[in-house]
Amino acid sequence: MENKERYWITVVSKDHIKRGVAGGFMQANHGKPGALKKLHVNDWVIFYSPKVTYEGDEKLQAFTAIGQVSGNEVYQHKMSENFIPYRRDVQYYRCRETPFIPLIPQMEFIKDKRAWGYHFRFGFFEIGKTDFELIRSRMLDSQHKSLTTNS
């Protein structure tokens, strides 16, 4: 049985995705497991950051990270006594931060260009290959250079 790659966007502030890239993992929807269970090894995930910091108000509206799911397991990681989020391992690639607004007219998943933020409200969603390839072409060089996540 052939496992076809799928393409996803998840919403996360830039300061939070930096931690994920450094650690080789992703979390979605405030650490809930549901979205992570939809992923398969080799699926691509693009990280959209509406803001620079989770707590702050400074808008960013850019794609800030891109990677492929590398681990089969959804697992928990204790960050504090009261927060034990679910994670999934990801192989991240060196990329350019890519503003989203200029891409809106070309995005097929955005049917109403005036209400472009609608999909992002859900925090995690699938996109088609055409949209993925457009975003990937802006973020990555032709040769994907992986980031070393081993410390």
pLDDT recorded at residue 17: 95
Q: Tell me, what's the pLDDT at 148?
A: 46
The Cβ of residue 19 has, within 10 Å, a number of other Cβ atoms equal to 12
- For the cut 70, the answer to whether the pLDDT of residue 151 exceeds it is no
7-139 to CATH, choices 3.10.590.10, 3.30.465.10, 3.40.50.720, 1.10.340.70: 3.10.590.10
Distance of CA 128 to the CA centre of its chain: 14
Burial (CB < 10 A; 0-12, 13-18, 19+), residue 82, is: exposed
Q: Where are the domains of the chain?
A: 7-139
Contact status, residue 79 vs residue 101, Cβ threshold 8 Å = no
Against a cut of 0.85, is the pTM above it?
yes
User: In which band, very low, low, confident or very high, does the pLDDT at 143 lie, cut at 50, 70 and 90?
Assistant: low
pLDDT at 142: 65
- In whole angstroms, give the CA distance from residue 14 to residue 4: 29
Cα–Cα distance measured from residue 15 to residue 6, given in angstroms and rounded to the nearest whole number: 26
End-to-end CA gap in the chain? 35
